[in-house]
Amino acid sequence: MAKYEPEPDLTLVPDPTLPNQPVKGRGAVSNRPGRYELGERPLEDDGWSLPAARVGGDPDGEPPPLATKVAFDSSRTIMAHNQSPDVPFDRSVNTYRGCEHGCVYCYARPTHAYLGLSPGLDFESRLFAKADAAKLLIKELKKPGYKPDVLALGAVTDVYQPIERQYRITRGVLKVLSDFNHPVGITTKSARVLDDLDIIADMAKRQLIMVSISVTTLDRALARKLEPRASTPPRRLGAIRQLSAAGVPVAISVAPIIPAITDHEIESIIAAGAEAGAQWINWTLLRLPLEIKDLFAEWLVAHAPGKAKHAMSLISQCHGGIAYRSEWGKRMKGEGSYADMIRLRVEAAAKRHGLDKREYDLDCSRFAVPKEPDRQFDLFC
């Protein structure tokens, strides 16, 4: 068999010329078109952006904030299925499209291209709420022959992003899962998960739920740039502490580990998670599929220009000389000497803090369709 030789990636090193400027409260620094859109907007200043006061901005030069707009999603189904051998679940529910957290590295960003929107600023400011999620889930779970298994909640976009406090769609889905005794694993980087602690703690007593809290960095200033509208690192650790105290099995997810940006924090993040009460860890290396590569390169030039070239070089070393390879088993952990070093550091730190084994499984045997209330006596009323 011929040895795999990657094509040279000519755009691997970010171009420092005429960088886009950060938008306050947002992660991406541009709104470049998605892969299905024709043409590319040139990076040039036509002068229109300078007098911000004329268009309602800050007279001192600050542009007006980018508002979040929410529309309703009209999907007819809610449960997505996958057969990927490198993910530990085969079904998932996502209550929102797009994510206001604005994590610049988010692997879900390219999904906005399917909607004719940009994976850049559109992804974090033009959101879609699945208002009928709970009803659609009930319909799915009632199908004849449905066989339960652990359902992932928040596998793509975060189900506890800021708009959840207003729409409460995730809470409705959790109530359905609780009523059906259906096992679920939640992944989030928001302390808003504590808003549903009453349901989560009750499900934990029945071995129906586990929660994974993602902590990318302990540096609040860096977190504000990487993931501007997610909960601060201390609040996420606080959520781990409260979930653990309530008897909820909780993991700390060191994800993604970003070469030259957050990789020096691996041991301290794991130690902080263990101290807060996490029982095991998850981790991944940074993934840069499709449009994310250019969005992340722009972010590096805007926020860490001195590390940009080095970061992209280390990333390419984990993927055979290119920014990203999508093969199962390699896409999340990478390969090569640098990726091996990261893996060994994670494993050593996890073992040192007793987080190297997950000794908890969810119970699929309790699943049952709730009985309908008996309406027969209503005929005599």
| 53, pLDDT greater than 80 | no
Q: How many CB atoms lie within 10 A of CB 332?
A: 17
Confidence (pLDDT) at 74: 87
- The confidence score (pLDDT) of residue 82 equals 87
Question: Of all residues in the chain, what percent carry a pLDDT higher than 90?
Answer: 71
Residues 6+ away with beta carbon under 8 Å from 280? 251, 350, 355, 356, 357, 358, 359, 360
pLDDT band at 17 (very low <50, low <70, confident <90, very high): low
pLDDT tens by residue, 327-358: 777 778 889 999 999 999 999 999 999 999 87
Q: Does residue 21 register a pLDDT over 80?
A: no
The CA R_g of the chain, rounded to the nearest whole Å, is 22
Q: What is the three-class DSSP state of 201?
A: helix
Does a structural domain hold residue 328? yes
Higher pLDDT, 27 or 8: 27
Where residue 61 falls among pLDDT bands split at 50, 70, 90? low
CATH number for the domain spanning 356: value is: 3.20.20.70
- Domain membership of residue 375 (yes or no) is no
Residue 90 maps to a domain: yes
Domain of 254 in residue numbering reads as 68-369
Residue 361 lies in a domain: yes
How sure is the predictor about 284, in pLDDT bands with cuts at 50, 70 and 90?
Answer: very high
Indicate whether 158 belongs to any domain: yes
pLDDT single digits (tens) 292-306: 999 999 999 999 999
Residue 101 near residue 229, CB atoms below 8 Å: yes
Whether residue 35 is contained in a domain is answered as no
Q: Please report, rounded to a whole number, the percentage of residues in the chain having pLDDT higher than 70.
A: 85
pLDDT of residue 374: 53
Give dist(CA 125, CA 238) in Å, integer.
27
What's the structural domain count of the chain?
A: 1
The whole-number pLDDT of residue 51 equals 45
Residue with the bigger pLDDT between 50 and 205: it is 205
pLDDT at 57: 46
Average pLDDT, the chain: 87
| Torsion (CA) 314, 315, 320, 323 in degrees, nearest 10 | -140
The pLDDT confidence band at residue 87, using thresholds 50, 70 and 90, is confident
Q: Please indicate, yes or no, if residue 26 is contained in any of the structural domains.
A: no
Q: What is the pLDDT of residues 211-237, one digit of tens each?
A: 999 999 999 999 999 999 999 999 999
| pLDDT given at position 66 | 85
pLDDT (tens digit, 9 = 90+) per residue, 146-163?
999 999 998 899 999 999
Q: For position 48, what pLDDT does the model report? A: 45
Q: What is the spatial distance between Cα 150 and Cα 148, in angstroms, rounded to a whole number? A: 7
For residues 204, 151, 324, 272, the Cα torsion angle rounded to the nearest 10 degrees is: 0
38 is a domain residue: no
Q: Inform me whether the pLDDT recorded for 210 exceeds 50.
A: yes
Contacts with 239 (C-beta within 8 Å, 6 or more apart), sequence order? 190, 191, 193, 194, 213, 231
In this predicted model, what pLDDT tens digit does every residue of 116-131 receive, in sequence order?
999 999 999 999 999 9
Q: How confident is the model at residue 244 (pLDDT cuts 50, 70, 90)?
A: very high
